[in-house]
Amino acid sequence: MKQKVVDILQKHTTELIDKQMIDVPTHARLGDFTLPCFQFAKKMKKSPTLIAEEIAGNIQDPTIEKVEALNGYVNIFMKRTGFTQSIMNTILYEVNHYGSSNVGGGGVVTIDMSSPNIAKPFSMGHLRSTVIGNCMALLLEKSGYQPVKINYIGDWGTQFGKLLVAYRLWGNEQQVQKAPIQTLLALYIRFHKEAELDDSLNDQGRAAFKSLEDGDLEALALWKWFRTESLKEFQKIYDVLGVTFDSYKGEAYYNDKMDPIVEELQRKNLLVESDGALVVNVGENMPPCIIKKSDGATLYATRDITAAIDRHNTHKFVKSLYVVGNEQSLHFVQLKSVLHQMGYKWADTLQHIPFGLILKDGKKLSTRKGKIILLEEVLKEAIQLAEDTIDEKNPSLLNKKEVAKEIGVGAIIFSDLKQHRKHDIEFDLKKMLQTEGETGPYLQYTYARACSILRKAGVVGEFSVEEVNNHEWEVIKCLEQFPAVVNRATTELDPSLMAKYAVELAQAFNSFYGNVQIVTNSSLMAYRVSLVQSVVIVLEQALRLLGMKAPKEM
């Protein structure tokens, strides 16, 4: 709608008009759009009042109801009925395709997301990466890209040598079977404690990792077992979140693929020796990227370089995203720089998608010092709290357990996505689960309310729009925005835009619902019910794109 207004205004002034110059007034009585004319005064050498009057006096367009010049503003009122009819027709016809586009032209975007480390708890950071990455995948898909979700499992590195030593010394098979991650983490912590007193343990750890790298069968079998048990635990979390992956190629997958890459670095004269290690310099004020330690062991960066090249060979991506916390920013700058120096132009399309921490009472949720907060427990608690609310509000609800899961999980997802991802977020389960305010449950309740109106109304026939009141108009304007929001959230890779949109739509709908009688005997009913139907379609899409479920009854 804004673009249309831009086009119309452009016809009536010699100044260049763009979308940013037009505002949406805070009061409906000031129109749907307004053009402040102060911005032209200096250049046109006229007062804003005069400019506004001149522009307003000239405008004539079949889509515009009324134009008003007021205190240097041109206030524009759109013709509501035709507009409303056309937006609703579009939504009811396109249904779930409303807002879809082919901006991406089928281009592949790889998304490195979640990527937890085996034998360690699934952290809050991994949760954020999962939720943000999943939403980006859904948005990209809606815009015609082909997302490939890669779970780059952290399953390789010197720490696994230490774990092998610890398990052989103090491990117990049944315990690992029963609570794999807790047990393995405890072993790892014990290893570090004891190694402080006995340094020879560290040598043993290095040797054990070396044997793993060299393919020692017994070491490999143990490592595989740790991996399988850990993945089973992670899978429980993915099932609850409703997130799937296209690939689980993790760090270990690249163990036997790094040699040619190190040779390539050598051939391209990029490797430099530094304290016995092999490094690539990445810039004056930055630490070099370490490729091989003095004992010949490869590192996180070595594997990431190898993985990036493999991903490009496999997928020919147009973009490659890494949804990983702020704290790894330097690593991704180094990664891009090394690939650049190797002559890979596509390194430009690599993008680190950083995000902030999850805080509890202002402090980082930590997995260290034994103070583990297990995500599984958190999810369970959220679901339980949601179930308590259902028991209180709608005890006869049929599939209570399933709905409680959808609300509990939705609350966590929404609280993560509603702010720009770079911000830290405060983790407060009770607050996230409130049914009022900007929360997941608020959106889901709104959706369920709209569905219940549709059930009550039954089938309505054709509608024609004769009049659009202010409440209806706010809803319509919001519905019209949806395709533009999908587009912006995708290009800016910013899920919070979609989250904020969902809140705005829900608020507009709730004020319509609270002020306008929808199910009536009059001829208005078919129109109003169809408007509710349109909201149901768009709100469901918005929730789906965020990775949330939309229960029809709560």
Binding site for ligand ARG (CB under 6 A): 112, 115, 117, 152, 154, 304, 322, 324
Nearest Cα to Cα of residue 306 among 352, 345, 342: 342
CB of 115 to ligand ARG, least distance (A): 4
**Rounded CA separation 415/433 (Å):** 9
CB of 116 to ligand ARG, least distance (A): 6
Residue with smaller CB distance to ligand ARG, 73 or 152 = 152
Residue with smaller CB distance to ligand ARG, 117 or 146 = 117
CB of 327 to ligand ARG, least distance (A): 9
CB of 302 to ligand ARG, least distance (A): 11
Encode burial over 228-262: b for 16+ CB neighbours within 10 A, e otherwise.
Answer: ebbbebbeebbebbebebebebbbbbbbeebeebb
- Tokens representing 471? 């409440």
CB of 253 to ligand ARG, least distance (A): 12
Residue with smaller CB distance to ligand ARG, 324 or 450 = 324
Do 323 and 109 form a contact (C-beta atoms < 8 A)? no
**Rounded CA separation 494/499 (Å):** 9
Strand partners, 83: none
Residue with smaller CB distance to ligand ARG, 202 or 326 = 326
Residue with smaller CB distance to ligand ARG, 121 or 410 = 121
DSSP string, 246-258: SB---TGGGGGGS
* Residue 154 backbone dihedrals phi, psi, to 5 degrees: -85, 90
C-alpha gyration radius of the chain = 28
**Rounded CA separation 104/140 (Å):** 8
Q: What is the DSSP letter of 347?
A: G
Sign of the C-alpha dihedral computed for residues 543, 548, 550 and 553 taken in this order: negative
- Tokens representing 11? 């016809």
3-state secondary structure 80-128: HHHHHHHHHHHHHHHHHHCCCCCCCCCCEEEEECCCCECCCCCCHHHHH
CB of 354 to ligand ARG, least distance (A): 11
Residue nearest to ligand ARG (CB): 154
CB of 250 to ligand ARG, least distance (A): 8
Q: Element (H or E) spanning 211, and its range?
A: helix 200-213
Burial of 356 by CB count in 10 Å (0-12 exposed, 13-18 middle, 19+ buried)?
Answer: middle
CB of 190 to ligand ARG, least distance (A): 21
Residue with smaller CB distance to ligand ARG, 113 or 465 = 113
- Tokens representing 181? 């991650």
Residue with smaller CB distance to ligand ARG, 121 or 288 = 121
DSSP string, 412-434: HHHHHHSS-TTS-EE--HHHHT-
Q: Element (H or E) spanning 443, and its range?
A: helix 440-457
Residue with smaller CB distance to ligand ARG, 115 or 481 = 115
Residue with smaller CB distance to ligand ARG, 303 or 405 = 303
CB of 268 to ligand ARG, least distance (A): 22
Nearest Cα to Cα of residue 407 among 423, 387, 393: 387
CB of 6 to ligand ARG, least distance (A): 42
Residue with smaller CB distance to ligand ARG, 113 or 201 = 113
Residue with smaller CB distance to ligand ARG, 112 or 472 = 112
CB of 42 to ligand ARG, least distance (A): 51
CB of 119 to ligand ARG, least distance (A): 12
User: Look-up: residue for tokens 């330690």?
Assistant: 293
Q: Which residues contact 313 (CB under 8 A, 6 or more apart)?
A: none
Residue with smaller CB distance to ligand ARG, 136 or 503 = 136
